[in-house]
Structure 1
Amino acid sequence: MARSHTLETFDIDFFDDAPIRHVIDVRLPVSPQRAWAEFTRQNTLDWCRAIKKIEFVSPAPYGPGTARKAVLGPGYVTLEEDFFDWTENPEDGIYRNGFRVVRANVPGIRRFGEATEITPAEVGCRLKWTFALELPTSSRAVTALSGPASSTVYKTIEADTLKHFANLEPAR
């Protein structure tokens, strides 16, 4: 990774309290178990145009302490992620994980992470995907990561995710 910048750490409350938050809250037409398998497989999110590559660098089985590397967009942004929250309850169809970015190859990010929660729905499952971000107030990245351009990126991620899951075997 070229010139690595270390980000500040945080706990689970950051996903509720972050200065910049974006939440994707949708229904997927697959079982919670199938959705979880898609979100936790090697090279996950390959269906998202905004993401070039995601690779788990820790061996399975995954859980707290799992490390992952993400390359965003056309490949300019690289993130090193650490999962600090990981809960799997297959009997109830409830799954959750959360990671914090520990290092990024771009400056101007204080804290960034994502939390994914998958729960049963009347048909299929509910995906609640929270992106949490804090930037230094002097950062030029503030507008880029919290303005209209970022809103378009999140809408693209949501649309790509819905399309991907619509093409999978439906929930029973």
Structure 2
Amino acid sequence: MPWFALERFDASFFDTAPHRHRFRMDLPVAPHTVWEGLAGRTPLSWCRGLAGGRYTSPGPHGVGTTREVTALRVLRLREEFVHWEEREEGRRHAFCVTEASLPIYRRFGEDYLVEPLAAGGTRFTWTFAYEPAPLLRRPAALTDAPGTAFLRTLIADTKRHFGAA
């Protein structure tokens, strides 16, 4: 299978990307439970549209860690973490996709922010940022509906998994 290289980027891309989707959800579980689901051995295993999420570099995990995941059974992604922070008041990590099995992105990444809520539970902010490949730039400018629909299924699966309404 051919792999297509994507351009790398720094954390500013999450605020400047041509396409950004930020979802905030309050989850009725402890922050460490959410973090384990995002950063543990089988990340995002509850998301029906994702499969085979696995780390391809040894632990402990941090900046430079790599992993692979398959989206919608056809799009394989190789990711590298560009940010990884674990502290008492919250945890955050972000990655950029370095290679994809289909040439649909020029740049793509995700940022995960896990913060404790004062009343208990967790606020999880999941940000998706991407720039389409040149051939898809115009269609993506006209409608982002298919991609947004997929992202919303990931959010719904996450809320269901952690028992949020």
**Shorter-chain TM-score above 0.5:** yes
Query: Is 1:50 aligned to residue 45 of structure 2?
Result: no
Please give the per-residue CA displacement for 1:95-149, whole angstroms capped at 9, x wherever unaligned.
00010000011013100000000011122010001000001343279449x6222
Q: CA–CA distance in 1 between the matches of 2:35 and 2:116?
A: 11
Is 1:151 aligned to 2:151, yes or no? no
Q: d(CA) in 2 for partners of 1:137 and 1:59?
A: 35
**Which amino acid is 1:67 matched to?**
T
* Distance in 2 of aligned mates of 1:154 and 1:130: 10
TM-score (norm 2): 0.92
| TM-score normalised by L of structure 1 | 0.88
Give the length in aligned residue pairs: 163
Q: 2:79 is paired with a residue of what secondary structure?
A: strand
- Secondary structure of the corresponding residue to residue 166 of structure 1: coil
Instruction: Go from structure 1 to structure 2 and tell me whether the alpha carbon gap of 1:47 and 1:142 turns closer, same or farther (over 3 Å shift).
Output: farther
Runs of 4+ in structure 1 over 6 Å off: none
Given that 2:103 and 2:133 are in contact with CA atoms closer than 8 Å, whether structure 1 keeps it comes out as no
1:2-13 superposed matches below 5 A: 2-13=1-12
Identity level (%): 36
CA distance in 1: counterparts of 2:114 and 2:91, whole angstroms: 5
In 2, the alpha carbon distance for the partners of 1:71 and 1:52 equals 5
> Is contact 2:106-2:134 (8 Å) kept?
no
**Secondary structure, counterpart of 1:25 in structure 2:** strand
Secondary structure of 2:162's aligned partner? helix
Show structure 1 runs of 5+ residues with no match. 168-172
Q: Secondary structure at the match of 1:103?
A: strand
Alpha-carbon displacement from aligned partner over 1:19-39 (angstroms, at most 9, x marks no partner): 001111100111111111111
Give the 3-state SS of the residue equivalent to 1:139 in structure 2: helix
Whole-Å separation in 1 of the counterparts to 2:7 and 2:146:
24
Question: What SS class does the counterpart of residue 69 from structure 1 fall into?
Answer: strand
Tell me what 1:170 maps to: none
Hey, what's the Cα distance between the residues in 2 that align with 1:71 and 1:141? Answer: 25
Contact 1:108–1:140 (Cα < 8 Å) also in 2: no
- How far the C-alpha of 1:54 sits from its partner, in A, is 0.5
CA distance in 2, matches of 1:33, 1:56: 19
Computed over aligned residues only, the root mean square deviation of the Cα atoms, in angstroms, reads 2.0
